[in-house]
Copies of this chain bind each other. A is one copy, B any other.
Amino acid sequence: MALKHAIMTHLMRGLPRNGYELVQYFAMDYERLWKASATQVYAELSRMAESGLLELVENRASSRSHGDYILTDAGRQELERWLLHTEADHGVRDDSLLKLIAIGALDDEQAQILIGNEQAYYRRRALALEKRLAEWPEEHEGRIWRGRRAIFHLWLVQARQTLEWLEKLETCLKNPDMPMDEIF
């Protein structure tokens, strides 16, 4: 039930947001912190409002919206409880990495396609992150935004490192007699 907490990490910045805006955040690629479908986000928001973690306030911006959500004190308390008193789940389900683990099943030509796809993805991602960091809004200051901005730096170095690694993977497969310790 971590979507609940993912929603909280968005709302903890203090800005009131409606369901649609939150759905956009969860769908955005370079902002991506949690995968979630629209249906699920709306359902979770209702549940959280009902249980008192969120409050529905008058909408700003858009007149079509039912209203905007903000974190309540109970919500902030739950956020703190989750952060400090629950263990992080390091269990992984990374579809793209799973494919790369299986790359040995393909011949050189096919492997090249798979690696190429991943390279394209991480190049796009690195560019988007660089742009996001370069254009960081000045009003995004303070402790909460600093934490968030730091994550973008982590994502960026990880993307770059993955690109480097993909090059090495290519070398490794194309030169089956080269010792792996020489490459990595």
Contact = CB atoms under 8 A, between A and B. Distances in A.
Interface of A: 2, 5-6, 8-9, 12, 29, 32-35, 76, 79-80, 82-84, 87-106, 110, 113-114, 117-118, 121, 142-151, 153-154, 157-158, 161-162, 165, 168-169, 172-173, 176, 180, 184
Nearest to A100: B151
A165 B153 contact: yes
Identify the interface centre among A9, A96, A99, A102: most chain B CB within 10 Å of its CB. A102
A9 B101 contact: yes
A91 B5 CA distance: 17
B147 A173 contact: yes
B92 A113 contact: no
Given A84-B106, A92-B33, A151-B101, A143 B5 contact: no
Contact of A146 (B89, B165, B173): B173
B150 A172 contact: yes
B150 A184 contact: yes
A79 B96 contact: no
Given A33-B92, A84-B106, 19 more contacts: A9-B98, A9-B102, A12-B105, A29-B90, A32-B91, A33-B97, A34-B92, A34-B93, A82-B99, A83-B106, A87-B117, A88-B95, A88-B117, A90-B96, A100-B151, A103-B147, A146-B172, A150-B168, A158-B161
Given A95-B90, A99-B83, A146 B104 contact: yes
